Amino acid sequence: MQNPSEDTEWNDALRRHGILPQKESEVTEDQLINMVEETVQKRTGMNVVKAYEDMTLDELEELEDEEDERVLLQYRQQRIAEIQKLQQASKFGDVREISAQDYVDEVNKAGKGVWVVLHLYKSGIPLCALINQYFSRLAQKFPATKFLKSISTTCIPNYPDKHLPTIFIYFEDDMKRQFVGPLVFGGMNLKIDELEWMLSEAGAVKTDLEEDPRRRNKIHDVMTSSLRQANVKDSDSDDDDDDEDD
């Protein structure tokens, strides 16, 4: 028996006389594309977006404005996330006094991602008092870092006074750096920006200083000393002139 769906003259004749049903016409590629576009239009309720080259200047400008708004919104959301993260990390902001009993909890168990800066000091030592003053200001500037202080012999029995001041820097129960004795700090000439730089080199704070201030301060001290010496010489020369006049 002959297949009624085959393309033969006999089958074509039978279709013309209505004996066989007409064949379904094939869908061309263009028709398929049109069908897809119509479906998209129906589902979105919008026309298909024009290609960039088909847009007018006004349409391109409008699209650019929308893109700028999207970029600004994305940047704003990113900044909000960064600020929230910083606020969560900024949970200290002051200098806490600890004892030997507090050491483990405050230093060793400070928490993940927390930098700890501990100053061992003793009353009556001027440089220790100076560093405690600096600590109060630096703690406010870097609230994500945990600043602690403790009387040396209270924290470590029989700790020698000659090693004061001492600063220990910890990160996640690991000592990263230690500064021991007055010479390390440069004595009473220590400036707060110099201490900030020392802490930043150890990783305890993220400073905005661009270079080691000790170099700049040293140059300034040398210049100041030279000016003083020059003034003294000028004063001595004037005294000699006055004596000669007499």
pLDDT of residue 215: 77
pTM over 0.85: no
Please give the radius of gyration of the chain, using alpha carbons only, rounded to the nearest integer.
41
Angle, nearest 10°, between helix axes 213-245 and 192-202? Answer: 160
Buried b (16+ CB within 10 A) or exposed e, 156-169: eeebeeeebbbbbb
Residue matched to tokens 């000028």? 234
Plot region of 158 (φ>0 → left; ψ -120 to 50 → alpha; else → beta): left
If you count them, how many residues does the chain have?
Answer: 246
- State how far the Cα of 119 lies from the Cα of 185, in Å rounded to an integer: 13
pLDDT of residue 182: 97
pLDDT of residue 48: 42
Average pLDDT per block of 10 residues along the chain, 246 residues long: 59 64 59 60 49 66 69 67 61 91 91 94 97 97 95 93 96 94 95 96 93 71 50 56 58
Question: In 90-187, which ranges are continuous DSSP H helix?
Answer: 103, 126-141, 152-155, 182-185
Taking Cα atoms as reference points, which of 106, 104, 94 lies closest to residue 143?
A: 94
